[in-house]
Amino acid sequence: IHYFENGHCCAKTPGHALDEPTPTEASEDVVAQLKAVLASAGHDCIRLFVAGAVTHVGKTSVCLGLLASLRKAGVHAKEIAYIKPATQCEA
Q: Which residue has the higher pLDDT, 70 or 29?
A: 70
Domain boundaries, the chain: 23-90
Contact 79, 41 (CB under 8 A): no
- Residue 18 is predicted with a pLDDT of 46
Report CA 58 to chain centroid distance, whole Å. 12
Q: Is the pTM of this model over 0.85?
A: no
CA gap 67, 4 in Å, rounded: 17
- State pLDDT tens for residues 50-61: 888 888 888 888
Listed in sequence order, the residues at least 6 apart from 63 whose beta carbon sits closer than 8 Å to its beta carbon are 50, 82
